[in-house]
Structure 1
Amino acid sequence: MTDNLQTPQTAFDHETAATHMVRGIPIATMKTPVDSVIASLRGRRFDCADTIFVTDDDGRLEGIVRVNDLFLETDCLIGQIMEEEHEAVRPDDDQEAIAVLAMELNMIAVPVVDDEGRLIGAVPPESLLKILRAEHMEDLQRLAGITPHERGSDVGFDAPLGNRIRRRLPWLLFGLLASSLITIVMAGFEHSLAANVSVAFFVPAIVYIAGAIGTQAVSVAVRGLLDEDIPIFKLLRGELVVGTGIGAVLGIIAAILVLASFGDPRLAAAVGLAVLGGGIVSAVVGFGLPWAFTRFGSDPALGSGPICTIIQDVSSLLIYFFFVTILL
């Protein structure tokens, strides 16, 4: 049994398995008696000792044995108690995919193998937790329209002022330019606003509700799209149903409040239907944009928040003024 793998160092991206991999791990061949494996663990320090990695005589990974299972049967060979159904990653695999794999298969440590299947190390549980935290923080920044720091999200918080401005400014500039669409929409319905000034009172609320529903849909989609076991159309159908249900409930409440406050049933209907329509569109857009980013090979969180905001604002206003035009 060995506990230290010596492999040549290779320059990998800082968000790959190679960065988080440790080499001091307990390894045993398939024909090693379990008693011998247990004896070899005593008095030795490992970088990761939660899992025993079982290989053939050429060092190719054959299976794993969790430490919890190691002491159940000691009068046999370790190859007889190993988990043959296992997954491994390559040194240049992305760190987020490694963490997702560990969660899907309930893995304590993720083995790392070379192109020929030979074991070269493992990503330990503490690194998996760090990866999950880093990816979570990165997604939060991207959803907020902040470009992640090239050296990680934690470094980004302490980056120089100029660097922080440069990472936040691009999507905000995009939002400033795109918001001109909202001005164009409002200007296009100038006559409706002039005829009934009460119409303008509900613009902020309708835009807010649509944006909030879309933001929730984006949050669900960004994480759900990483799980390949969930069908895309199932996610879309679920968000569409949720958006319709939420829009209907909020639309009814809004219509009742408008009717009670202004006594205008047509204005109340326009507001209620706009909230319903905005909720449906926002749910679809909130899911569709992350899906589109994924289809084109980009992180689904990349810019989805700022882009969704503009699309949802414009579409909700168009829906609102459409109902205002036909009902008032």
Structure 2
Amino acid sequence: MFPTALLWAGLLGTLLLVEPGIGRRGRGGRESSRGGRGGGRESSREFRPSMWADQANLVSMMQSSLIAIKPTIFDINLNDMMRPICFLGQVSESDMPGFYEPKKFVYRNTSEKSDVPNVNRAAPPPSRASNAKTQTQVKPFPHKPKKDDPQGCGNPVCVIIDSKPRRFKSLCEFKSFLQTENRLSQVNFVQKGDCYDIIDNPEGAEKKTWSDNAKDCSMCRENDLCNGPIVVVVDLGSYLNGKSSAPGGGIHKENSEEGTKQSGIPFEFCSICEAMKFFENSENLNIATQLVGIGFGKTCNLFPLNG
């Protein structure tokens, strides 16, 4: 659309370059009827065929300067949506003197004999400590909706907060924690499933769902924890193909000239139940997507355009 608009603008501009000459010629004819030298000069400015050649050259120059667009219409692998690789800068060794130099260690000479007798020469007595495990295995939360929550609060989730994994029985319980800690305006990475289930079990919550009972959101609208705006940021690859482009995902490209990751799309909903209902309608989201970003509030407040 953008290059086409430029092309039409160029053609219109070249036509406008010709119109003044034609108009002046007509005016010149009227002036020549009145007599005078001015009319003669205006009538002599006739349209020349060489103008069309100048216009053609101008159009060809504009076409060559337009941005080339890939002719791909159906991009199944979403390669055109990949972000370019961001190479981090490296500090020059000349700017950091002594930083890259190997550290020097001073070792003591332990081969010298001491005149002080060793009082601990005898063998230590047998230990009376128990070999039993002092920590019991933590039982994960059942992967089902919390009993006291309204419909649509979702299943257990795991969230990393202050570098510590925290588990919650539902998104409503997670929102209650953020509200108590005054962190509702914070966007967090949320993974489906209990933290212990994800860490201890090989499959974790890979085949489990985000929600199972988001059918009727009437009770959610009457609940302060369930109701209210929520923004869910989903990877574009997860939304379209069910494969994340983030590190560890199915289509992540570690070293590629085309890019390494796709963008995240923020979806705003009026309540948690509406968000979970949206997830239940898509298998790519409800099952295949493992990690999303969640923030409680409006998109314009969580991601302001004015910084």
TM over 0.5: no
Richer in strand (by share): 2
Q: Which has the higher contact order (CA 8 A, sep 6+)?
A: 2
TM class by shorter-chain length? under 0.3
TM (normalized to structure 1)?
0.20
TM (normalized to structure 2)?
0.21
Which structure's CA Rg is the greater one? 2
